[in-house]
Amino acid sequence: MNNPKSSLLTRNTIGEISASDQNKSPDYIEVVKAFARLTYESVYVIDYEKMSFDYVSDNPLFLCGYTANEVKEMGYEFYFRHVPEKDLEILGIINEAGFDFYERLPIEEKKNYSITYDFHLINKDNKKVLINHKLTPLLLTTEGKLWKSLCAVSISNHKTVGNIEIYKEGSDEMWTLDTSTRAWQKSNKASLTKKEIQVLQLHAQGLTINEIAEKLHVAPDTIKYYRRKIFERLNVSNILEALAYAVNRKII
């Protein structure tokens, strides 16, 4: 297996950013800060030219006991300190396979694709937490190289690392990575019926099974049936996992 640090640091080497691209770079940090204030997720921005973080929100989930500024100063060293060795190997595979996938896309479509995956962070007290990491392009160079990415971090709704998927905006298409073969397998997003989506949306509003049944003019057992079908379709085991899955994949 390749050195995971090498895989993370060298796969998307883009060299020095041209003056032309620098001049075209918008002042996006204030927009990212505004987004971070509105979301429960941790937010940060990766700069692939410098292999550093341009911005780290102060949400404690991603900080492992540090301040946002301390994590920002560490940059990629943060991963090497707080991601278990086996998970670092997975991140190396994701990095290589993800950029291989990305480089084959037409430049005009690259910003439509996002990737999501799970790995552990080890806090200062040596406790592990499984997080979900969503990454989407923010800025590209003129040549179509990924320059900066926006990342959102939340608690994973899975129980194991990996679960690597790429989604295309405005499409039901998705790709899942087989880490043993490093091959992407194309499929379609899980779909729900209109009634199942209604049930999930009402659960998201905090309604109980009985309250949802009353609102939809059906028996509580009918709502329980819809819930079971939702769990089957999304391959989850409870309503919290179903809501996390549906929100992350824009099903609701």
User: Rounded CA gap, 193 and 173, in Å?
Assistant: 18
Task: Concatenate the DSSP letters of all residues of 53-89 into one string.
Answer: EEEE---GGGTTTS-HHHHHHHTTHHHHHHS-HHHHH
4-188: CATH class: alpha beta
One-letter identity of residue 224: K
User: Rounded CA gap, 55 and 162, in Å?
Assistant: 25
CB atoms within 10 A of CB 22: 11
| Per-residue pLDDT, 13 | 67
The mean pLDDT values, 10 residues at a time, for the chain of 252 residues are: 65 71 75 89 92 93 93 94 94 93 94 95 91 93 91 89 92 91 89 92 93 95 95 88 81 80
| Per-residue pLDDT, 82 | 95
| Per-residue pLDDT, 22 | 73
The encoded tokens of residue 75 equal 């940059």
User: Rounded CA gap, 211 and 202, in Å?
Assistant: 9
| Per-residue pLDDT, 21 | 73
| Per-residue pLDDT, 240 | 85
| Per-residue pLDDT, 64 | 93
Equal CATH topology for 4-188 and 194-248: no
| Per-residue pLDDT, 54 | 94
CATH architecture of 194-248: Orthogonal Bundle (1.10)
| Per-residue pLDDT, 39 | 87
Q: Report yes or no on whether pTM surpasses 0.75.
A: yes
| Per-residue pLDDT, 1 | 53
Domain boundaries, the chain: 4-188, 194-248
- First-residue to last-residue Cα distance in the chain: 39
